Amino acid sequence: MTEDFIEGPARDPDPDAVAARLAAEALIVDVDGFEGPLDVLLMLARTQKVDLRTISVLQLARQYLVFVERARELRLELAADYLVMAAWLAFLKSRLLLPPDPEEEGPSAEDLAAHLAFQLERLEGMRKAAARLMARDQLGRDVFARGEPEGLERSRKVVWTATLLDLMQGYARLRTRDDFRPFVMDRKDVFTMEAALERLRPLIGAVGEWTDLTAFLPDGWAGDPARRRSATASTFAATLELAKTGVLELHQTDTFGPIRIRGRA
């Protein structure tokens, strides 16, 4: 719509400056309709009525600066992009007007102008391409897919596999597992020598008479044969240990006869 608005005044036979001014005014009315400064520049470039390759960037810069000036007069708020472009174009304009400075490094004013023209041409090219793309026959508008598709299914089937080796190894693993159960000592029915020593040491000092070893078995260890065996063995071992240190004496009258002990205080 904006485009139509511009095309009108641009047809005016008046010189470019007038057309540009009119165009700029038209632009200002609808600045929201523009997609950034490049878009505005492209619109202004069209008012020059020449191929974008031969456009006068100097004139374009003037047109744009007029556009920005008018926008300010009308107190329209312009986005920062537009002002940055205005500043840059003012700079470009001055460089294009001055003779080139041989000391100056970087791109020449002509290079910068040429690139701007390229950008405009490229944007124009993309716009035309987009229009041609949208003018193609479109699916759902001009051509149609099957309305009632029957569908292509892709089902996934899982095949489970195992080999005979897996089977045998699995069985072997099971059948040998019990054979290798870790050995656990049965501690419930074992009276250790440490326990016997601990028990005897405080008692032995008070024993002045020969006393049968079995009298020193702890309570609850004399009944059950397994427990009795364990307690007897450990108590005997403890007495030997204590005899070695000289705190008690042992006495046995004959083979398998009762073992008697007494303290040596």
Partner 1 sequence: MTDPIASDTLFEAPPLAEQERMVEAVLFASAAPVTIGELHARLPHGCDAPAALEQLAKRYDGRGVRLVKVGDAWAIRTAADLAFLMTRETVETRKLSRAAIETLAIVAYHQPATRAEIEEIRGVSVSKGTIEQLLDLDWIKLGQRRQTPGRPVTFVVTRAFMDHFGLASPRDLPGLKELRAAGLLESTPPPDELPAREDDDQTDDMFERAPPEEEH
Question: Scanning residues 77 to 106, which ones bind partner 1 (CB under 8 A)?
Answer: 81, 84-85, 88, 106
Closest CA to 202 of 260, 242, 230, 171: 242
Question: Scanning residues 20 to 39, which ones bind partner 1 (CB under 8 A)?
Answer: 35-39
* Least Å from the CB of residue 57 to partner 1: 12
* Least Å from the CB of residue 207 to partner 1: 45
CA dihedral for 135, 141, 144, 150, sign (positive or negative): positive
Pick from 51, 73, 148, 254: which binds partner 1 (CB under 8 A)? Answer: 148
Name residue, tokens 């193609």: 136
**In residues, how long is the chain?**
265
- Dist. CA 160–CA 258, nearest whole Å: 73
DSSP 258: P
3-state secondary structure of 8: helix
Pick from 15, 99, 102, 151: which binds partner 1 (CB under 8 A)? Answer: 151
* Least Å from the CB of residue 119 to partner 1: 7
DSSP H helices, 30-79, are 37-46, 57-73
Segment interacting with partner 1, rule: CB under 8 A, options 8-16, 148-156, 232-240, 254-262: 148-156
Nearer to partner 1 by C-beta: 118 or 210?
118
CA dihedral for 203, 208, 209, 210, sign (positive or negative): positive
Structure token digits, residue 23: 């165009």
Question: Scanning residues 206 to 235, which ones bind partner 1 (CB under 8 A)?
Answer: none
Q: Does 163 bind partner 1 (CB under 8 A)?
A: yes
| Dihedral in degrees, nearest 10, Cα atoms 77, 80, 83, 89 | -150
Contact letters for partner 1, residues 37-56 (x by CB under 8 A): xxx-x---------------
Q: Does 152 bind partner 1 (CB under 8 A)?
A: yes
Segment interacting with partner 1, rule: CB under 8 A, options 5-13, 23-31, 122-130, 246-254: 122-130
